[in-house]
């Protein structure tokens, strides 16, 4: 009896365009994952050379994917992709925070700034713009997570197909990383080649968590808390004292020659008018806990004498009972007043800061146009202060 061998159809090669598409997607996947891991957090360092870095976490992730079987590798690649996506979102937040606040985003303490940013957008451009910003941000965040996860899974499959070569290359790069870390090698100043982004972010989070203990130690130093009122501020007795906060008027106004050349003549002319009226003035500079935004942190630092550089400290400060300028003036017999044209909601902290009277935006009778985030012109605020409190201002 004869048997008939079944015919075997020859394998059909996939179209060339599909092969090249797969290769291009693989290259893009590798580049995306690497770009997220090595991207600088500041706009000023976003140069091609700054991307020439070697992240330790990438080497560890590759080693893990090479060691795992097929099923475990797919799960690990998914987790790694999500982690890379979260880091990418953090990178974007860093860029924004450096642009606005001149510091990186703190993943533990800085979430309240997003709501403040939305209030700014809503007041400046309307609610529709605020909703649009939220929608775009959410879409970008989800898109980032999806792309990085798909990319990590594709990289995992690439490593599986070329396991021997990938193992040798990874081992060699690990040696390079150790050497660069020990020697502190860098191509761009301040951007080391041997980097560890997840470790840095974790260390930042741990420091933020421990900041509560640090703050408790700092706020415990309160030298004048129990000083009797008749011994406070004795050099200012009989005088009206005005502490005015003028936002967006920082030290750069004097350090930048272009700005200083335009500003100083006005200051000199104003000082001449003060001298002619029998007044004198002195100026100085204080170090601010924030830059570009978060002005309430700087104001709280000045009022309390405690370093308030994050929202957690700002929220915890009233519960400490630490002496403030307002409380000191009130204990010494002054009537204390806060004029807050930018405040449109309740301000419960005003009691702690020692104010007898608070004039918010709606208390000053202004009915003119808004000026972006500002509710009214500064000139109107000063006039309202004079009218409501019967203080005489030199104009």
DSSP conformation letters of 76-94: HHHHHHHHHHHHHHHHHHH
Asked if residue 287 is part of any domain, the answer here is no
Same domain assignment for residues 77 and 155: yes
252 versus 2: the higher-pLDDT residue is: 252
What is the Cα–Cα distance from 381 to 242, expressed in whole angstroms?
13
Boundary-marking domain end, from 208, 239, 265: 208
Query: Nearest CA to 36 among 201, 208, 205?
Result: 201
Provide mean pLDDT across the span 243-263. 82
Q: How far is CA 235 from CA 238, 302, 327, 332, in A?
A: 9, 19, 17, 11
Same domain assignment for residues 188 and 230: no
Determine the Cα angle at 145 with ends 141 and 148, to 5°: 135
Find where tokens 């860093």 sit.
Answer: 94
pLDDT of amino acid 393: 44
User: Which token pair is 38?
Assistant: 């090595």
The alpha-helical segments, DSSP class H, found in the chain are 16-38, 56-67, 70-101, 112-125, 127-161, 163-183, 197-219, 252-255, 257-276, 295-304, 311-320, 325-331, 378-389
- Say whether pLDDT at 382 is over 80: yes
pLDDT of amino acid 111: 83
Strand duo 191-192 + 54-55: pairing: unpaired
Same domain assignment for residues 103 and 189: yes
Same domain assignment for residues 197 and 128: yes
* Contact call for residues 38 and 55 (beta carbons, < 8 A): yes
Same domain assignment for residues 90 and 195: yes
Same domain assignment for residues 21 and 120: yes
Same domain assignment for residues 158 and 183: yes
Asked if residue 366 is part of any domain, the answer here is yes
* Contact call for residues 187 and 49 (beta carbons, < 8 A): yes
207 versus 123: the higher-pLDDT residue is: 207
Mean model confidence pLDDT for the chain:
87
Same domain assignment for residues 27 and 174: yes
Number of domains within the chain: 2
Instruction: State pLDDT tens for residues 314-346.
Output: 999 999 999 999 999 999 999 999 999 888 888
- Say whether pLDDT at 249 is over 70: no
Instruction: State pLDDT tens for residues 279-300.
Output: 888 777 788 898 877 888 999 9
Domain boundaries, position 302: 221-248+292-389
pLDDT of amino acid 80: 94
Same domain assignment for residues 159 and 186: yes
What is the Cα–Cα distance from 390 to 226, expressed in whole angstroms?
32
Q: Kindly report which listed range (45-54, 69-78, 207-216, 235-244) carries the lowest average pLDDT score.
A: 45-54
Q: Residue 395 — pLDDT band, cuts 50, 70, 90?
A: very low
Asked if residue 271 is part of any domain, the answer here is no
Same domain assignment for residues 144 and 244: no
What is the Cα–Cα distance from 87 to 201, expressed in whole angstroms?
9
Query: Nearest CA to 108 among 258, 245, 209, 40?
Result: 209
Q: What percent of the chain has pLDDT over 70?
A: 94
Same domain assignment for residues 193 and 130: yes
**pTM of the complete model:** 0.75
pLDDT of amino acid 394: 44
Same domain assignment for residues 79 and 55: yes
- Say whether pLDDT at 191 is over 50: yes
- Say whether pLDDT at 65 is over 60: yes
């Amino acid at each position: 009896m004869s048997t008939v061998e079944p015919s075997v159809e020859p394998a059909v090669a996939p179209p060339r365009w599909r092969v090249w598409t797969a290769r291009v997607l693989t290259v893009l996947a590798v580049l995306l994952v690497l770009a997220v891991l090595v991207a600088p957090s500041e706009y000023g360092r976003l140069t091609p050379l700054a991307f020439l870095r070697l992240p330790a976490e990438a080497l560890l992730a590759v080693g893990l994917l090479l060691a795992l079987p097929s099923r475990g590798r797919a799960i690990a690649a998914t987790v790694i992709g999500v982690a890379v996506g979260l880091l990418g979102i953090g990178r974007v937040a860093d860029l924004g925070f450096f642009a606005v606040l001149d510091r990186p985003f703190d993943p533990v303490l800085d979430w309240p700034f997003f709501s403040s940013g939305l209030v700014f957008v809503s007041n400046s451009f309307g609610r529709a713009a605020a909703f649009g910003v939220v929608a775009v941000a959410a879409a970008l965040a989800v898109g980032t997570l999806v792309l990085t996860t798909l990319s990590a899974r594709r990289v995992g499959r690439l490593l599986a197909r070329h396991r021997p070569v990938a193992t040798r290359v990874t081992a060699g790069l690990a040696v390079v990383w150790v050497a660069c870390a020990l020697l502190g090698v860098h191509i761009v100043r301040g951007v080391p080649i041997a980097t560890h982004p997840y470790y840095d972010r974790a260390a930042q989070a741990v420091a933020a968590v421990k900041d509560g203990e640090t703050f408790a130690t700092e706020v415990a130093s309160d030298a004048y808390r129990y000083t009797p009122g008749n011994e406070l501020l004795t050099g200012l007795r009989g005088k009206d004292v005005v502490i005015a906060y003028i936002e967006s008027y920082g030290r750069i106004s004097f350090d930048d020659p272009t700005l200083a050349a335009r500003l100083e003549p006005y200051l000199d002319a104003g000082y001449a008018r003060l001298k002619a009226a029998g007044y004198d003035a002195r100026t100085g500079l204080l170090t601010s806990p924030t830059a570009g935004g978060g002005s309430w942190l700087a104001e709280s630092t000045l009022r309390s004498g405690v370093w308030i550089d994050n929202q957690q400290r700002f929220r915890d400060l009233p519960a400490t009972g630490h002496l403030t300028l307002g409380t000191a003036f009130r204990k010494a017999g002054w009537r204390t007043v806060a004029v807050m044209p930018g405040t449109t909601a309740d301000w419960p902290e005003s009691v702690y800061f020692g104010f007898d009277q608070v004039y918010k935006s709606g208390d000053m009778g202004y009915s003119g146009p808004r000026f972006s985030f500002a509710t009214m012109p500064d000139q109107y605020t000063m006039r309202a202060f004079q009218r409501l409190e019967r203080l005489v201002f030199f104009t």
